[in-house]
Structure 1
Amino acid sequence: MGRRRSDEVIFNSDYVSISELVRITGIRYSTIKYYTEEGMVPFEQEEFNLTRRYPRVMAVERLNEISTLRKRGFSIPKVKELLSIDY
């Protein structure tokens, strides 16, 4: 079992794990994983260590955008389309 970082450490980190994103956003693990696999949430992955690292600020902002659009009734394909538009 891995060591669990404190909320203070997480909120001051540049990068977080998927489980830490779950803790700070309240979005389910499977949902974040799905959005990641669909290319909707930015992450980095080192070759020797397959752990995905999410840029905390960008990932939280993107997850909030996705959640807002989904609550407005947009489908996943439409959300992906809207997120690909440069504002």
Structure 2
Amino acid sequence: MSRQRPLEKILISEYVTVGELVRLTKMRYSTLKYYTEEGMLPFEQAEENLTRRYRREETLKRLERIKALKSAGLSVPEIKEKLKESAVG
């Protein structure tokens, strides 16, 4: 039995899981996990539940920015710096 939430519910949810981000963005799980581990995708994690939760709208916008910067030829360290700059400014 599938435990996936219907796409309609995901699209109106404030928070999504990494698996749901895969469905929304068509990006690979390993890519999203890497971005998370590199500190490029902020998340919240309840102590009693190890599931990482991402703010859907904020995370989708951030992923679009990462894709654009990557397409412009920036390296991961350069992208991280740009993301940090835009968070401050």
TM-score range, shorter chain: over 0.9
RMSD across aligned C-alpha pairs, in angstroms?
1.1
Extract unaligned runs of 5+ from structure 1: none
> Superposition pairs for residues 40-51 of structure 1, below 5 Å?
40-51=40-51
| 1:41 alignment partner AA | L
Which residues of structure 2 form unaligned runs of 5+? Answer: none
Distance 2:26 2:64 in 1: 11
Runs of 4 or more consecutive aligned structure 1 residues displaced over 6 Å after TM superposition: none
Q: Deviations over 1:6-42 (max 9, x none)?
A: 1110000000010000100111100000000111111
Percent of pairs with identical residues: 54
TM-score computed with the length of structure 2 as normaliser: 0.92
The structure that is helix-richer by fraction is: 2
SS in 2 for 1:80: helix
Task: Please state how far the C-alpha of 1:48 moved relative to its aligned partner.
Answer: 1.2
1:44–1:54 contact (8 Å) kept in structure 2: yes
CA contact (8 A) 1:42 1:58 kept: no
TM-score (norm 1): 0.94
* TM alignment of 1:67-86, pairs within 5 A: 67-85=67-85, 86=88
Separation in 1, partners of 2:42, 2:62: 8
